[in-house]
Amino acid sequence: MSEKTIQPNSKVVMHYRIILEDGTVADSTWEDNEPIAFVHGDGTLAPGLEEVLIGLQPGARESIPLAPEQGFGHKDTENIHTLSRSDFGEDTPVAPGLVIGFTLPNGQELPGMIIEVEGDQVLVDFNHPFSGHQLSFEVEILSVE
């Protein structure tokens, strides 16, 4: 009897690692030994990451290169905004590289990375932190239902 392969709506348990082009491990489930469990297509993973899993079977170990358009997209200049320092709380540290959560009017939280601080102006990037990167998506499929 052949094993099931990952298809839309499959229940998948797997380990994964996302590696940036410079070799930095950006995200991983292997280090804490807690695999991720999800239903393929439920939005847990970015669509491009889910797409490359189609057809894999339990036991598969793959390292899949992903261009930005397959992963988290290219940086969108429309998602980079200049805010006033007064938009941040007085106790909030503001420095390049810091990621701060911003609450939208609908209550949703959106992370933004501070790119630059110049006087009272703070440049914030609201793109996904992995956008614009060539990624390596390493996976080990543990089970498929």
The structure's pTM equals 0.78
Residue 1's pLDDT is 43
| 22-78: pLDDT as tens digits | 999 989 999 888 999 999 999 999 899 999 999 999 999 999 999 999 999 999 999
In the block, which residue shows the tokens 């847990």?
A: 44
Given a contact cutoff of 8 angstroms between Cβ atoms, the answer to whether 2 and 131 are in contact is no
Q: What are phi and psi of 4, to 5 degrees?
A: -70, 150
Domains of the chain in start order, with CATH, are 11-73+130-144 (3.10.50.40), 77-125 (2.40.10.330)
